[in-house]
Chains A and B, each alone.
Chain A
Amino acid sequence: DQQVKQNSPSLSVQEGRISILNCDYTNSMFDYFLWYKKYPAEGPTFLISISSIKDKNEDGRFTVFLNKSAKHLSLHIVPSQPGDSAVYFCAARTTSGTYKYIFGTGTRLKVLA
């Protein structure tokens, strides 16, 4: 049972436009969410986070939005750059038992020059 879902395996966007990556979750007990970026042959690197008590967090070109009622998370990248081409994972922290993060399956973003 996949509790964190990224239903779009891939996304292509023109350079300079907005990239929107989506993530849905099923567990209302998740209290903290992260986005990671992964280049080939490298480990995921932390990008941005959001607490469940907020609905938006911004860091430069990256903004994460959280809609708790819809159990939906999105990452906006504006403007998109070719160097943003990577796989993006969302992760949600479970509060039941020991804290741990559950990851989505990732969305491959390709930014076209």
Chain B
Amino acid sequence: DTAVSQTPKYLVTQMGNDKSIKCEQNLGHDTMYWYKQDSKKFLKIMFSYNNKELIINETVPNRFSPKSPDKAHLNLHINSLELGDSAVYFCASSQGTYYGYTFGSGTRLTVV
């Protein structure tokens, strides 16, 4: 019974396309996140939602739009994909921030 699940696990798409990555958590956590791990292995926060409300929005192109229909789901939609968007995207959730995050297994996005 996966705590934080992301779909799809792999995504290969052409430049210019629009794609979505879905994330769901069954832990009852109130906060969800999207992180990006680039080719240099930096794990950088992109967005954070607390109870469906956006609380962190790092410097991310506005082609990236998170959507949280409820506190158990946080989806990431990316418009007009570019080569530089190729990375592994991790969804995570937490209840507060003292206990760390529970991460999903990641979505490897490859833009060709």
Contact = CB atoms under 8 A, between A and B. Distances in A.
A46 to B, nearest CB: 4
Interface residues of A, number: 23
Contacts of B55: 98
Contacts of B98: 32, 49
A43 B106 CA distance: 6
B109 to A, nearest CB: 14
A101 B105 contact: no
B43 interface: yes
Interface stretch (A20-28, A34-42, A61-69): A34-42
Contacts of B4: 43
B56 interface: yes
Interface string B25-69: 000000000010000111111001000000110000000000000
A34 B100 contact: yes
Contact of B40 (A34, A87, A89, A105): A105
> Interface on chain A toward B: helix, strand, loop, or mixed SS?
strand
Given A43-B92, A98-B56, A101-B97, A106 B103 contact: no
Most interface-central of A42, A44, A46 (chain B CB within 10 A): A44
Interface in A1-51: 2, 32, 34, 36, 41-46, 49
26 contacts: A2-B42, A32-B97, A32-B98, A36-B100, A41-B105, A41-B106, A42-B106, A43-B92, A43-B103, A43-B105, A43-B106, A44-B43, A45-B103, A46-B101, A49-B98, A49-B99, A87-B41, A89-B43, A98-B55, A98-B56, A99-B97, A100-B45, A100-B97, A103-B42, A103-B43, A103-B44
Interface of B: 4, 35, 40-45, 48, 55-56, 90, 92, 97-106
